[in-house]
Amino acid sequence: MSLDKKVYKSFESVVGPENISDAPAVLRSYMYQPFGNNKGVWADISPEAVLMPASTEEVVAIAKICNRHHIVFKAMSTGWGIHNLPGVEGAVLMDLRRMNRILEIDEKNMFAVVEPHVICMQLQVEAMKKGLNCHIIGAGSNTSVLASATSVAGYGPDGLSMGHSGRNLLGVEWVLPTGEVLKLGSLGADAGWFCGDGPGPSMRGIMRGWEGAWGGLGVFTKCAVKLFHWNGPSELEMKNAPPNYVLKEPLQFFKASLFSFPSLDQLAEAAYKLGESEIGYFICRLTPAFVGLQMTSGKNYVDMWQSGMMQQVLKYGFLFVIFANSEREFDYQQKVLAQILEETGGQASPISETKEMQEQIATTVLKVDAVVRSCFRSAGGFNTSFGAMDTVDLAINQIKAGAGLKEKYIKRGVIMDDGGDNSATLLFEQGHLAYTEVLVMYDHHDGESAQGAFEYLAESNEICLKQGLGPPIFQISQVGMGKHGVFGPVCFNYDAWLREIKKELDPNNVCDPTAYISPEERERE
């Protein structure tokens, strides 16, 4: 099936001939999507064309053409993961790459207005010039600021001090599936971008709710996000050679430490106390495998793992970073931290105390630029399991369940042996919320490994259901009905609400529902 020539011409008249393509080579390149793919690297379904709008007006025009001709569309920003592709035949893909501007950084009111293809690192370097900083999601600073704020998840370890993307969202410009433009928050009352929930309409819950609609509810063309106080220099200069760029000068009042605890329960107790004490810049559950893969690769990593050294010094650990505004505050936070560690049996790991590790950790923590090393480099295939946005207790229960289940698959040899407990992230918003992801690495080109990994993911979902551990937010191979269809019936039928929202906002069902939800009744799916 290919697009009707007249329809293609209509799209072309909107974006210009340079910005639309149905060439097989162009389409094939978009089909390369290993992350979340349950077999190999290629998507089964190709978009019929790729369009690259440059403005809200062009997005509106495309959506209206799609409604007129009943053509399904899907929008993507940086496009990492198979959920970025349309999951139905005959659809078009909007690559928002040309909408890439930082429209405003409001220093006084501490927010930025961005288009979809602005990545976190672009915003951070510009924000720092004005004494501000931005939240970066755990996936890394190579991801879109807008996408995580409006559409998908949004968690990251600096969320301890800088919230999570969904919460940081202020005014929004939203092209609904019908092509109408809806302005949310203060923007909807022509009062600027400063607030997400008024004086204009607040539809935060409908727009993204808990985890986002994954591109199933139209296109977000602009949004404002909160920025935070930055106490460091306006530019972070680096030294050393790749792959170990590190800060040229240490930051004042900055201290990063890896801590380990006698048990996961004591780690949880420390996390609660740290949240209550409202100290810290960054916290992340870090495991021996994750840290080891940050530090090295290949044979060096294997030797390190087999020596058992990392497992010994980092069993039940997390990384905690203090970044204070003054010496007095720095001393205070250190004292509070020391007291909490004493109460909970936490010990600083000697590996984080060296000058080299302090430099490396500081860089990684601030830039969030090396996630691929720990997740994709070792085996190629990667996914996450478990992970609901809730409490520390729930996160710990998920970690325990994940580690136990993974042992079985590690013994089978179908996933990488990362010790079982390989989980990331922890507290957000100074302890109001917690989240984790239990990571799993496998070889997506090895049929037995890929199948084993997906059996593990399916079994992890069953455990979530049976043990009441909540739907895994970021298991991207199971977004959409794979998740909502299973968890909806046991979670107050929340999926029925999602269907109603979808039906109301997308009467022609032209915005690809695959990664979100279909408006159809559950039984018919």
Partner 1 sequence: MLLELNDYVGDMKRCARCSICKWPPLAVMKSWRFSQNCPSIARYNFYAYSGGGRMALGLALAEGKLDDVTDELLNIVYRCTACGACDSSCKYNSELEVLWSIYSTRAHLVSMGNFLPEHFMIIESLRKEDNTLMQPKADRAKWAEGLNIRDLSQGGQAEVIYHAGCLYCYDPDLSSIARDAVTLLKQAGIDLGIMGSNEACCGSMAFQLGFQGEFIKFAESNIDDWNAAGAKRVVTSCACGFGIMKAVYPLLGKEMKFEVLHITQILDELIKEGKLQLSKSIPTRVTYHDPCNLGRNSEEYVPWKGVEKKVLGQFILREPEKVVHRGWEGVYEPPRDIIRRVPGIELVEMERIREYSWCCGAGSGVKLSMDDFALWTASERIKEAESVAAEAIVTACPWCERNFKDAIAQSGDHLMVYDVVELVKQAL
Restricting to residues 209-248, name those near partner 1 by CB under 8 A.
Answer: 235-236, 238, 241-243, 245
Q: Does 310 bind partner 1 (CB under 8 A)?
A: no
Separation CA 222–CA 103 (nearest Å): 9
Please list every residue from 93 through 152 that binds partner 1, using CB under 8 A. 95, 97-98, 102, 118-119, 121-123, 125-126, 140-142
Task: Give the nearest distance from C-beta 256 to partner 1 in angstroms.
Answer: 16
Strands 437-442 and 381-385, sheet pairing: antiparallel
Q: Choose between 30 and 474: whose C-beta lies nearer to partner 1.
A: 30
Q: Write out the H or E segment, with its range, that includes residue 31.
A: helix 24-31
Q: Does 17 bind partner 1 (CB under 8 A)?
A: no
Task: Give the nearest distance from C-beta 426 to partner 1 in angstroms.
Answer: 23
Q: Does 58 bind partner 1 (CB under 8 A)?
A: no
Three-state secondary structure string covering 195-251 = CCCCCCCCCHHHHCCCCCCCCCCCEEEEEEEECEECCCCCCCCEECCCCCCEECCCC
Q: Choose between 198 and 308: whose C-beta lies nearer to partner 1.
A: 308
Stretch that binds partner 1, among 78-86, 336-344, 471-479, 496-504 (CB under 8 A): 78-86
Q: Does 355 bind partner 1 (CB under 8 A)?
A: no
User: Which residues have CB under 8 Å from 47's CB, separation 6+?
Assistant: 27, 30, 74, 85, 86, 91, 92, 93
> For 429, which DSSP code?
G
Q: Does 329 bind partner 1 (CB under 8 A)?
A: no
Q: Does 307 bind partner 1 (CB under 8 A)?
A: no
Separation CA 436–CA 392 (nearest Å): 9
Q: Does 35 bind partner 1 (CB under 8 A)?
A: yes
Strands 49-51 and 92-95, sheet pairing: parallel
> For 42, which DSSP code?
B
CA 382 from centre of chain: 14
Separation CA 165–CA 216 (nearest Å): 18
**Residues in contact with partner 1, total (CB under 8 A)?**
77
Smallest Cα–Cα separation from 442: which of 471, 472, 410, 404?
410
Which of 29, 325, 339, 354 is the binder for partner 1 (CB under 8 A)?
A: 29
Q: Does 360 bind partner 1 (CB under 8 A)?
A: no
Smallest Cα–Cα separation from 399: which of 388, 411, 412?
388
Which two structure tokens, joined as six digits, stand for 474? 């970021």
Please list every residue from 443 through 462 that binds partner 1, using CB under 8 A. 443, 445-446, 449
Stretch that binds partner 1, among 57-65, 215-223, 327-335, 435-443 (CB under 8 A): 435-443
Q: Does 285 bind partner 1 (CB under 8 A)?
A: no
Bridge partners (DSSP) of residue 383 are 440
Please list every residue from 361 through 390 that binds partner 1, using CB under 8 A. 363, 367, 369-373, 375-382
Q: Choose between 141 and 168: whose C-beta lies nearer to partner 1.
A: 141
Interface characters, 36-55, with partner 1 (x: CB under 8 A): ----xxx-------x-x---
Alpha helices in 296-446 (DSSP H): 298-307, 309-313, 327-344, 355-367, 371-375, 392-412
Task: Give the nearest distance from C-beta 16 to partner 1 in angstroms.
Answer: 11
Q: Choose between 229 and 412: whose C-beta lies nearer to partner 1.
A: 412
Please list every residue from 388 through 427 that binds partner 1, using CB under 8 A. 410, 413-418
Q: Write out the H or E segment, with its range, that includes residue 481.
A: helix 481-487
Q: Choose between 48 and 95: whose C-beta lies nearer to partner 1.
A: 95
Q: Does 83 bind partner 1 (CB under 8 A)?
A: no
Which two structure tokens, joined as six digits, stand for 248? 């040229």
Which of 5, 6, 108, 299 is the binder for partner 1 (CB under 8 A)?
A: 299
